[in-house]
Amino acid sequence: MPKAYVVARVTVTDPQAYAEYVKGASEAIRHYGGRALARGGAYEALEGEARPRNVILEFESLEQAKRYYHSPEYQAAKALREKAGIAEMVAVEGVE
């Protein structure tokens, strides 16, 4: 079964509130077996509109990535994020 990735593009509008989101999201990521491959850091827009914060999370499967996203733990963190910025997230299956 191929791994899966959650890709998030974020514009943070309230850094303090976003820091609280990161705490809760990080705990949920660990709980559901994910690991961060990229989290913030330098970036360069190669095409189209970019956001200043980019995150890539790896999970064992697409099902596990969806469990993480829909979990009570992540949904609690997401409620904090919604007050702290604008985000787009997608779960994508990797290649075998």
> Quick check: pTM over 0.85?
yes
Q: Measure the CA–CA gap between 33 and 11, rounded to whole angstroms.
A: 26
Count of structural domains, the chain: 1
CATH classification of the domain holding 62: 3.30.70.100
Instruction: Going residue by residue through the chain, which has 96 residues, state the pLDDT in tens, using 9 for 90 and above.
Output: 899 999 999 999 999 999 999 999 999 999 999 999 999 999 999 999 999 999 999 999 999 999 999 999 999 999 999 999 999 999 999 998
Q: Which domain holds residue 17?
A: 4-93
Q: Measure the CA–CA gap between 81 and 4, rounded to whole angstroms.
A: 22
